[in-house]
Structure 1
Amino acid sequence: MIDTSSHVVARNNEGNTEQRKEHCSNIKISNTEKVWTSLVAGAAAGGLAKTTIAPLDRTKINFQISKKPYSAKAAMKFIVNSYHKEGLMSLWRGNSATMVRIVPYAAIQFTAHEQWKRVLKVNGTETTSTTMRFLAGSLAGVTSQSMTYPLDLVRARMAVTEKSEYRTLRQVFTRIYRQEGLMAFYRGFLATILGVIPYAGCSFFTYGTLKNISAVYTENSPGLAAISSLVCGALAGAVGQTSSYPMDIVRRRIQTSAIKGQHYHTIYSSATKIYAEEGAMAFFKGLSMNWVKGPVAAGISYATYDVVCNGLRKIIN
């Protein structure tokens, strides 16, 4: 339990610590400068985080779209078999598509979050409405997902196929367009949006809340602040992943149904089919791996964003 009186004293002495620490938004620069620094910091954060956990991400997707039961042993077997059959770099198969998607996605998401906070008057303090904090995160997720969704679908297709089937991003885009039509690039989009609302909302809300709580103790210690960002980001990632995971299963089935010869079309029919054939626990297949990779990715992402964003804004300020 944090002592409220000490919190008040600290805010008076440090000049409103909470506002200074949440996503480096209190450094006095123009909104245009805020936008481009957020874009650069978000791009760096997303690229580093996703590359770090790419092998686990590919493994998770393969279990999500199959009826095979998930276990840590089975996951390790998949990784080892991929290594023996296709080499070490096969574990990063689809990561080029991930980078093409995640760099603009993360850049847009972090920037949109900051701008939505400005629009909704989320000021980073404890007096801010819980609903507004959650809404700002959710809208940031919807904004970024809507603008980059085709790249997410392509990444999923590459992650679950052999290299001989899809060799390049251009080949994937061309084949999907010719064989399935333009609308195929948005297959599973509604399921994704329904999943990203609780994920982004819970993730940004949890991170902002935890950073506010810890800021008073890390203000004068850059090293401790970096560790705090990692820990808060990890916890935010775990909360966000857990809240949205069942919908993630549904969207992956819909995204990859065309190449797997399976019939997953609408959210309702897909969810019903999964439940009837595999049971309720199928909606949480691979979640334990997400509790490993999700917090790692989120921790790296939030920490990288804070460091790069703060650094750029201090340079131009």
Structure 2
Amino acid sequence: MSRLLEKPNIAMSIKSTGSQLSSTMTTASATLSSDLDDADTSRTQLSPSETSGVVLVPATTVTPMRQKIDQVVISLISGAAAGALAKTVIAPLDRTKINFQIRNDVPFSFRASLRYLQNTYANEGVLALWRGNSATMARIVPYAAIQFTAHEQWRRILHVDKDGTNTKGRRFLAGSLAGITSQSLTYPLDLARARMAVTDRYTGYRTLRQVFTKIWVEEGPRTLFRGYWATVLGVIPYAGTSFFTYETLKREYYEVVGNNKPNTLVSLAFGAAAGAAGQTASYPLDIVRRRMQTMRVNTAGGDRYPTILETLVKIYREEGVKNGFYKGLSMNWIKGPIAVGISFSTYDLIKAWLTELANLRRVEK
């Protein structure tokens, strides 16, 4: 009987031992998990030379080169989409502006620009308002893609605002170099777009291919780069001022609000301000390049704009500063901020979305 009475004590001892064993196992499991986490963390921080023979999990095997390639691809896609959307929205206003820029016999006014839009619609139909937009798309898609991507790369090369520094001069230089890079690689398409914008399909060029064919045969291949230097001189203040203004406003916004990713409306406002500043800084040279690009198809101008200097002198003597160098600027103050605002905000939005999508795909792997 005494032995039977001792059985509960044995059970209690076993139970206690089991409880201790369970607690010990739990502690060991937690310690093992922590050790594994530490080991995994230390593994991801190893240098390339130390990882020889170590098998990494596919989700963490993203090389710096692959990251750079992904960033370039994302920038190209985002820039192309941003440029295409922005230019399509303001295409009718752009065509109107170009037609007034190349003529010295018709003064610019909002009433005259509305009359031009009405006459174009009545005589050629609504699609005529977007005439030349195919050439614009053929140019703006690679142009915007190259420009935004080049800007990212020039910022990295020049160490713009690196480690929280405020390098305003480098910020402007990065934008200017991005504009020169993209303009140099796509200039013949810009000339073709201008030619199509100032002619109709009956007396001018019916297709983009015909523009290049006629210019090559009738005027020579060098004509495809007529006005190039005026364009480069103009893109330096335009792209530099645009990117500088937009990046500066984003920086100031971050310092005040503490958010480095402004919402779409704020980005649109910053882009609009950047567009207005950039257009104003470079507008006289924009007039010069349009006159030089279209002088063979512009009956009012003829062949009277052979060089940048002669074009500047002629415009100043015959039309003055306000009605010559800044002719149609008020139209640019409407379309420029709209286009640049849409372009910058769309670029940031699509880039953020594609970056997040790329990160999710890496995690899923």
Matched, 1:288 2:330: yes
**Separation (CA, whole Å) in 1 of partners of 2:200 and 2:162:** 46
Structure 1 residue aligned with 2:28: none
Root-mean-square deviation over aligned CA pairs: 1.5
1:265 corresponds, among 297, 300, 306, to 306
Alpha-carbon deviation of 1:162?
1.1
CA offset digits 1:120-153 (Å, max 9, x no partner): 0113676232110000000000000000000000
CA distance in 2, matches of 1:218, 1:107: 29
| AA of the residue aligned to 2:315 | I
- 1:167 alignment partner in structure 2: 206
CA distance in 2, matches of 1:59, 1:186: 23
Equivalences for 1:1-317 in 2 at 5 Å? 30-67=67-104, 68-123=106-161, 127-164=165-202, 165-215=204-254, 217=257, 219=259, 225-260=263-298, 261-281=302-322, 282-317=324-359
Other structure's SS at 2:263 match = helix
Q: Deviations over 1:198-244 (max 9, x none)?
A: 00000000000001111352739x7x611111000000000000000
Quote the Cα distance in structure 2 between the aligned partners of 1:286 and 1:125: 42
| Count of paired positions | 288
List, as ranges, runs of 4+ consecutive aligned residues in structure 1 with deviation greater than 6 Å.
none
Report what 2:35 is aligned to.
Answer: none
> Alignment partner of 2:297: what SS?
helix
- Kept in 2, the 8 Å contact 1:39–1:111? The answer is yes
Tell me the SS of whatever aligns to 2:144: helix
Distance 1:118 1:167, change over 3 A: same
The answer to whether the 8 Å contact 1:124/1:208 transfers is no
Give the TM-score normalised by the residue count of structure 1. Answer: 0.88
Distance 2:131 2:200 in 1: 9
What amino acid maps onto 2:100 in structure 1?
F
Note closer, same or farther for the CA distance 1:126–1:55 as it changes in structure 2 (3 Å cut).
Answer: farther
% identical aligned pairs = 59
For 1:122 and 1:276, locate their aligned partners in 2 and report how far apart those are by CA, in whole Å.
42
Structure 1 Cα separation of the partners of residues 303 and 144 of structure 2: 31
Deviation at 1:263, TM superposition (A): 1.2
Indicate how the Cα distance of structure 1 residues 110 and 228 shifts in structure 2: closer, same or farther if over 3 A, else same: same
Corresponding residue for 1:8? none
Letter in 2 for 1:309: K
Quick one: distance in 2 between partners of 1:121 and 1:279? Answer: 42
Q: CA deviation at 1:315?
A: 1.1
**Structure 1: runs of 5 or more not aligned:** 1-27
Change (3 A) 1:125 1:199: farther
Give the partner amino acid of 2:312. A
Task: State whether residues 82 and 344 of structure 2, in contact with CA within 8 Å, keep that contact through their aligned partners in structure 1.
Answer: yes
CA contact (8 A) 2:161 2:167 kept: no
The answer (yes or no) to whether the contact 1:124–1:212 under 8 Å persists in 2 is: no
TM superposition score normalised by structure 2: 0.77
Distance 2:258 2:291 in 1: 43
Contact 1:211 1:228 in 2 (8 A): no
Counterpart of 2:82, as a letter, is: A
Q: Which has the higher contact order (CA 8 A, sep 6+)?
A: 1
Gaps of at least 5 residues in structure 2 are 1-63, 360-365
